[in-house]
Amino acid sequence: MQGRWIETFEDERQRELYDLYSKEWWTAGRDFEDVIKMMEHSDLAIGLCSDDDRLVAFARVLTDYTFKAMIFDVIVHCDFRGQGLGKAIVNRIVDHETLAQVRSFELYCPDDLVSFYGRIGFSKGRANLLFRER
């Protein structure tokens, strides 16, 4: 799939993004309005549109543009998995011109995806990731 990269999500793209979110276990309960607010406060958002102009992959980044960039919500539409799009979108982020000075890219993932991210250069860190939810 050739596809087309996008970095803005307006109107129908917002609905397509919400549709991607609604199908993943970690994002299924999110409200449309909260997803839009999240996008407004992300430093970088990248999408990949299919040849027929459907949003089929997405990821976003929070960063200080120097030391760290945290990659969130890497999602590939279930009909397009196994085609290298996850790797492509992560590489697109790591190679993005606005993130050229960032020293460390980080993400967290379930255990079953550690080997996938390991194949594209990520490794387990020394520290545990701690959470405090409301």
Rounded (10°) angle between helices 32-40 and 12-22? 110
User: Is residue 47 a contact partner of residue 58, using CB atoms and an 8 Å limit?
Assistant: yes
List the catalytic residue out of 21, 65, 108, 117.
117
3-state secondary structure of 35: helix
Backbone dihedral region for residue 131 (phi beyond 0: left; psi -120 to 50: alpha; all else: beta): beta
- Annotation says 21 is catalytic: no
User: Any idea which residues carry the catalytic annotation?
Assistant: 117
